[in-house]
Amino acid sequence: MRIDLSGRTALVTGSTQGIGLAIAAGLAQAGARVGINGRSEGRVGGAITALRDRVPGADLVPVVADVTVEIEAEHAVSELGAVDVLVNNLGVFGAADPLEISDDEWRRYFDVNVLAAVRLTRLLLPGMTDRGWGRVLNIASDSAIVTPAEMIHYGVSKTALLGVSRGFAKAAAGTGVTVNSVIAGPTHTGGVEDFVYQLVSRDLPWEEAQREFMRLHRPQSLIQRLIEPEEIANMVVYLSSPLASATTGGAVRVDGGYVDSILP
């Protein structure tokens, strides 16, 4: 199976590290011109340097913007021109006592995890539909379906993102543009390492801490390990390609079998 995205432009939000960086690498490897997004020039520049080492000759565009702010999201779009593939990857998460989460913190999670994706989709979807081709991918989570007691604000925001994806898929019906969610399972990133150590002893070596985390907090996982970011990226690259032309309005799982359900 050969995926060729030559001549396509992609924007990956929050792509200076973790899953976003892996997705950017995968899209660049498939030949796409990729906008690398972060809030600081230093982070974006560092990510571009790392990506050029991984993908020699990659066509990468720095997009320094906080896409949770409307005027900066508009700037991000103007930096790239016509965007064919939008990957709404930006997100925040963290453990919190459900009874201690303030209204402001609830709003912050929705601003980052939901409204940033809505805003960029609203800005870019009309151009995609006019051109008759496009892909919108929203990076969701197993927490959208299995709401974790230790971070319900995160889980609920990702549940909302599934609805956003389905709704915009309907708005793009019959245009050649597809909109999907990717349900990422527990994934090995720097941020997740910090999260794991919030829940298990910091005295444990990482491999042991990971096993303890999966045993105690994610026992439903069928692969019984954290997923690597590149495994998420593989699905995103496929869904971004012409090969996935009949997949839209879906919530596609890359969760290691964590969600105990046949659908979605």
Which residues carry out catalysis?
154
Distance CA 218, CA 238 (A): 27
Instruction: Give the long-range contacts of residues 103-110, CB within 8 A, separation 24 or more.
Output: 105/153, 106/153, 109/153, 109/154, 109/156, 109/157, 110/157, 110/160
Backbone angles phi, psi at 60, to 5 degrees: -120, 140
* Cα 48 to chain centroid, rounded: 18
DSSP 3-state assignment of 256? coil
* Closest alpha carbon to 55 in 87, 38, 31: 31
Can you state the angle between helices 70-80 and 116-131, rounded to 10 degrees?
30
Distance CA 188, CA 160 (A): 24
DSSP 3-state assignment of 170? helix
